[in-house]
Amino acid sequence: MPSISKSEIERALDTWAQHLQQRAAAVDAPLAIVGIVSHGDILAQRLVQRLQVAGCDALYGAIDITLYRDDLDMRGNRPALRSSHLPFSTDGLHLVLVDDVLSTGRTARAALEVLWEYGRPAQVELQCLADRGGRQLPIHPDYVAFNLSTEPVDKVVVHLQEIDGEEDITY
């Protein structure tokens, strides 16, 4: 089973933070990094921390897209709801939406729907740690660390230290 190591993930986050710092300087809007719960929010926190160390201000938020999924009726059981934390309006922000794995595009679509409830950003970019392909919607990441070659039946699992006690991506 192929895997991506913790050090590779850390290097990818360092590269993203440098790129975002440059973009923030070029864009005339406050920067906000918003992660999709439950792994995207951890990645977003790490990015904000890196940006702050570099002297770049960025707002942090996290959103739960559970109730915005288009497959709730197909899941059969009650969804587990988690808290969103978006203590600011998104009006006029340069917003970077962060997720761990992009596949069909349905999670990103649901996240955009949630974001619109908090205002109208000046710009939204999508940043994903891994892109496994298989898009069903016309949604593509602006930034991706790892493009994975997978089959629809393959499982991509992201482990992050804060949640899982280990760190890697297996597929």
H or E stretch covering 102: strand 94-102
- Please say whether the beta carbons of 168 and 159 come within 8 A: yes
Written out in words, the top-level CATH class of the domain with range 3-72+83-170 is: alpha beta
Domain boundaries, the chain: 3-72+83-170
Question: Could you tell me the two tokens for 64?
Answer: 């739960």
Neighbours of 99 (CB within 10 A): 26
Query: Is pLDDT of 70 > 70?
Result: no
pLDDT tens track for 103-139: 999 999 999 999 999 999 999 999 999 999 999 999 9
Instruction: List CB contacts of 45: < 8 A, sequence separation 6 or more.
Output: 35, 60
